[in-house]
Amino acid sequence: MRKTIYIALAALGLCLFAGCGSSDKETVSPLVKQLAGEWLLKTWNGEAPQDFDAYICFATDRSFEIYQQIEQVGYQKYSGKYEVKNDVLNGTYSDGKPFGSAYDISFDESGDTLTLTSATDVTEVSVYERSTIPNSVKDGAIVMKSTRSAVHLPL
C-alpha cells in the first residue's frame, strides 16, 4: 500500500512539474539575446557619420528605441517593435510604418560590433558598437510618432 502511495505521489509530482513549463512565456532566441542592448552607430556605408548621430536600443521583449540627431541640435526618439527570423531583422515603428528595409544581422567575434546590411537595391551597411546611451540623450529627446519627418534613418 505504501509503495502505491509513493508511486501515486511521484506521478502527481511529475504531472505538476510538467505543467509548470514555459509554454506560457515566449522564448527568446539566442540572436535576440545577443542583439539586446544599447548600440552607437560608428559607420554608415563605410564612413563615420559627419552630420548625424544615432543610438539604438533593442530589448529582449522585441521593442526598440532609436535616438538620432540629424543636422539639428537635439535628438529625436523613435520606438516600435522588431522581429528576428533567420538572421534577418524587420521592424515596425510605433506609428505602424515598417522599417525601410529588412536587415541582415551579423556580429564580430566579441559580439560588441553589430553590422546591419539592408536588403534593398542600394545596399546600406550600418555598423554599431555596444555603447550606453547617455541620459542626456534619452532625457532630452523629442518623441516622434512618424518616420516621415526623418531626413535620414541609418536603420
CA torsion sign for 147, 36, 46, 86 is: negative
Residue type, 111: G
Nearest to 91 by CA among 68, 112, 129, 65: 65
Rounded-to-integer distance, Cα 153 and Cα 51, Å: 12
8 A C-beta contact, residue 36 and residue 59: yes
pLDDT at 122: 85
| Helix H or strand E segment including 10 | helix 2-19
Q: Give me the pLDDT at residue 14, please.
A: 39
- Residue 120: its pLDDT value, please? 85
How far lies 82's CA from each of 2, 25, 79, in Å?
A: 55, 18, 10
Under 8 Å between Cβ of 128 and 66: no
Give the model's pLDDT for residue 147.
Answer: 56
- In the numeric block, the cell 545596399 is attached to 123
Spatial separation of the C-alpha atoms in residues 125 and 110, rounded to whole Å:
19
Q: Which residues pair with 83 in a beta bridge?
A: 90
The percentage of residues in the chain with a pLDDT greater than 70, rounded to a whole number, is: 76
Tell which wins on pLDDT, 128 or 17: 128
What confidence score (pLDDT) does residue 72 get? 77
Q: What is the pLDDT of residues 37-85, one digit of tens each?
A: 999 999 999 999 888 899 999 999 999 999 999 887 789 999 999 999 9
